[in-house]
């Protein structure tokens, strides 16, 4: 496992009912094949050594002894392999029979986990043959020693921080699944050996419960169900194997697919999520039953081979889903702004329109909010403020956009005023430094604030989440507003929101909006080139926004450290950026993220629309003078 990923698989081989020796050979064949692929955790179905549909044959000593013998063959097949395997079988102990999952690794049977909840309804009558394992602790004698049988076993690879626990079929369908206790006691991966027959609608029910359960318990869940080799006297089994991670489906073999379900689980993400989810921590305080923690070494240092790493984690790839999400986000932004207008009794919205993406999105949100409030569009005071770096394209975009949308247009040329300001403070206007840039940004903000006072309005901020992360804003300039509608929208998502509105509005507005979408991203604070084109290109200075957003998502949402982040970026952007480039902008990301916290600690209110936000009042609390040394040291050594 590299960077706390573990490769897991669920397999439903074609078995024979009541033929443990044959079934063991089938299982061993899968083990050998998965070992070659580097699988570290492998799960087989409920009662897979005997078959689930044996009926009263479970009461026969020959079958019970045959299953134990077959289990030892399976265990022997794991010798020398870095793999933890779970296989199902009936086990006799203390004059009762238990429906068990055996954990085996490196040639040994580590433990037996009995089923807790036994169905006795419909087509299932397990209480005829099996006893519940709830509260039971015993030992099972094997050829090479004994193994504990208990419902409260957790197998741990302590070196790599992986803890695996088990429950069986019906257990997950009950009001209090044993896996809740397992997760409370440290298990991050739950395996379920199941014999779930196929029925119309049952696959959808499986997904619903597995998604909800894995999310609530912040765990990975491997569900492995019996396949077509079972008896079809009254039921049919389809081998619908599913792997979930914190509510998200990683992989599935569909009913009758007869394949092996494989996925790579991000255990580090699960641990990080648990640490910051205080409600999960609170639920872990009571710890009633005793647990056995069994050490095993089954984790490798193999890299990812199956898992896709999304280069744009904030943006859905399915067009329909993307447009649906855009509509939801725009509605959230608009309703939040509308509520702020109601609360403040503001009469106008004042906005600086540059012809760029962020101010365009803010204007579109304002119009939605005004439609909700039934306020006229002439109460939207849209101000264009050309300065030293304003290009002809953005100026034209801004004017065309304001005209197409029917808002109140004002133009304030800031150049002469800023030059007078340079004279007042003794700054050489030929020196295009930070003073040269920030004076423009701050004067523009002053113009907007004073216009808001003049019109009894609110200045609406345009800055986005990516800019906040890097501190790419002028303190008390574009950094400040009276309400910031874009503050939790990352740059990679902004353009899809604008595109969504373009297609909804159509006509002249769509043409202008698509012109905005094709414009180079720039603050336009430095003079244009000799042909009047943008010379100051943001991504040349602070890095590609797609990398910023990727790093931001993985750092804040998934808790990934620098080495893991660079590793994932190499996979996500293979063929587009080389390692040196990714590392360069990763170091830059950490340096800027830490050094610019003072700006984030004094930002205006703004609506949270996604899983990542940098609001100092809620999602991200950090002192402005925190040191980045740990993160930079790790990143620079990569």
Any catalytic annotation for residue 115? yes
Strand 145-150: give its sheet, edge to edge.
137-142, 145-150, 108-114, 96-105, 84-93, 41-43, 5-11, 260-266
Q: CA–CA separation, 404 vs 409, rounded Å?
A: 11
Instruction: For residue 20, give Cα distances in angstroms to 93, 203, 624.
Output: 19, 28, 64
Q: CA–CA separation, 517 vs 364, rounded Å?
A: 14
Instruction: For residue 30, give Cα distances in angstroms to 103, 224, 238.
Output: 16, 14, 18
What is 213-265 written as a DSSP string?
A: HHHHTT-EEEEEE--TTS--SS--B---EEEEETTEEEEEEPTT---EEEEEE
| Cα 151 versus chain centre, distance | 31
For 279, the token pair is: 């409600």
Catalytic residue among 81, 82, 115, 495: 115
Using alpha carbons, select from 235, 258, 229 the residue that is nearest to residue 18: 229
Neighbour tally for 178: CB within 10 Å:
25
Helix residue ranges per DSSP H, 318-409: 319-344, 357-373, 392-405
Compute the CA torsion angle 382, 322, 577, 551 (nearest 10 deg).
Answer: 80
Bridge partners of 194? 225
Instruction: For residue 531, give Cα distances in angstroms to 22, 355, 420, 519, 535.
Output: 79, 18, 26, 16, 10
Q: CA–CA separation, 192 vs 224, rounded Å?
A: 6
Q: Are 48 and 193 in contact (CB under 8 A)?
A: yes
Using alpha carbons, select from 340, 297, 383 the residue that is nearest to residue 83: 297
Catalytic residue among 46, 72, 167, 501: 46
Q: CA–CA separation, 565 vs 552, rounded Å?
A: 10
Catalytic residue among 67, 93, 166, 169: 169
Instruction: Give the H/E segment covering residue 212.
Output: helix 202-216
Main-chain phi, psi angles of 266, to 5 degrees: -90, 90
Compute the CA torsion angle 129, 133, 134, 135 (nearest 10 deg).
Answer: 130
Q: CA–CA separation, 29 vs 13, rounded Å?
A: 9
Using alpha carbons, select from 211, 221, 258 the residue that is nearest to residue 239: 258
Any catalytic annotation for residue 520? no
Length, in residues, of the chain: 638
Place of tokens 């419902």: 151
Task: Indicate the SS3 state at residue 138.
Answer: strand
DSSP structure class, residue 285: S
State the Rg of the chain over Cα. Answer: 30
Task: Indicate the SS3 state at residue 348.
Answer: strand
Q: CA–CA separation, 356 vs 45, rounded Å?
A: 56
Neighbour tally for 277: CB within 10 Å:
12
| Cα 258 versus chain centre, distance | 29
Q: Are 296 and 197 in contact (CB under 8 A)?
A: no
Catalytic residue positions? 46, 115, 169
């Amino acid at each position: 496992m590299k960077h706390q990923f573990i490769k897991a698989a669920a397999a439903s081989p074609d078995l024979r009912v009541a033929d443990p020796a044959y079934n063991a050979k089938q299982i061993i064949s899968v083990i050998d094949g998965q070992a070659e692929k580097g699988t570290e955790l492998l799960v087989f179905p409920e009662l897979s050594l005997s078959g689930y549909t044996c009926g009263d044959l479970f009461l026969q000593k020959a079958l019970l002894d045959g299953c134990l013998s077959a289990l030892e063959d399976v265990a022997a097949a794991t010798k020398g392999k870095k793999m933890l395997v779970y296989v199902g079988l009936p086990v006799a102990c203390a004059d009762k029979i238990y429906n068990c999952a055996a954990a085996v690794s490196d040639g040994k049977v580590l433990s037996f986990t009995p089923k807790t909840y036994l169905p006795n309804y419909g087509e299932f009558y397990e209480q005829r043959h099996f006893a519940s394992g709830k509260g039971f602790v015993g030992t099972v004698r094997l050829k090479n020693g004994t193994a504990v049988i208990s419902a409260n076993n957790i197998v741990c690879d302590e070196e790599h921080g992986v803890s695996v626990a088990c429950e069986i079929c019906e257990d997950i369908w009950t009001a209090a699944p044993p896996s809740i206790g397992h997760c409370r006691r440290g298990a991050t991966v739950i395996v379920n050996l199941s014999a779930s027959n196929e029925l119309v609608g049952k696959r959808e029910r499986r997904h619903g419960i597995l998604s909800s359960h894995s999310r609530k318990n912040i765990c990975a869940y491997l569900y492995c169900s019996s396949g077509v080799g079972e008896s079809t006297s009254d039921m049919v089994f389809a081998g619908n194997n599913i792997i979930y991670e914190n509510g998200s489906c990683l992989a599935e073999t569909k009913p009758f697919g007869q394949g092996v379900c494989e996925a790579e689980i991000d255990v580090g993400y699960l641990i990080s999520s648990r640490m910051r989810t205080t409600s999960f921590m609170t639920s872990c305080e009571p710890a009633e039953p005793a647990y056995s923690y069994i050490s095993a070494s089954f984790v490798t240092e193999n890299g990812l081979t199956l898992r896709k790493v999304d280069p744009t984690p904030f943006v859905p790839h399915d067009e329909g889903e993307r447009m649906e999400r855009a509509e939801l986000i725009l509605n959230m932004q608009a309703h939040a702004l509308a509520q702020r207008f109601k609360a403040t009794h503001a009469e106008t919205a004042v906005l600086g329109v540059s012809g760029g993406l962020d101010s365009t999105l803010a204007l579109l949100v304002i119009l939605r909010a005004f439609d909700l409030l039934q306020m006229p569009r002439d109460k939207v005071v849209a101000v264009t403020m050309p300065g030293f770096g304003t290009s002809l394209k953005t100026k034209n975009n801004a004017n065309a956009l304001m005209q197409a949308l029917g808002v109140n247009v004002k133009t304030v040329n800031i150049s002469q005023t800023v030059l007078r300001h340079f004279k007042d403070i003794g700054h050489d206007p030929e020196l295009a430094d930070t003073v040269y840039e920030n004076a423009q940004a701050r004067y523009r903000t002053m113009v907007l604030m004073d216009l808001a006072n003049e019109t009894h309005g609110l200045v609406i901020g345009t800055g986005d989440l990516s800019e906040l992360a890097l501190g790419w804003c002028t303190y008390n300039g574009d950094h400040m507003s009276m309400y910031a509608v874009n503050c939790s929208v990352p740059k990679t998502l902004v353009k899809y929101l604008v595109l969504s509105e373009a297609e909804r509005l159509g006509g002249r507005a769509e043409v202008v909006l698509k012109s905005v979408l094709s414009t180079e991203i720039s603050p336009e604070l430095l003079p244009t080139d000799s042909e009047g084109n943008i010379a100051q290109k943001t991504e040349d200075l602070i890095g590609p926004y797609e990398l910023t957003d990727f790093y931001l998502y993985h750092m804040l949402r998934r808790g990934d450290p620098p080495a893991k982040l660079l590793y994932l970026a190499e996979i996500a952007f293979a063929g587009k950026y080389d390692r040196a480039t990714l590392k360069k902008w990763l170091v830059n990301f950490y340096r800027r993220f830490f050094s610019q916290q003072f700006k984030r600690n004094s930002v205006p209110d703004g609506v949270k629309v996604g899983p990542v936000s940098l609001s100092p009042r809620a999602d991200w609390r950090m002192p402005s003078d925190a040191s980045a040394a740990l993160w930079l040291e790790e990143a620079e050594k990569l």
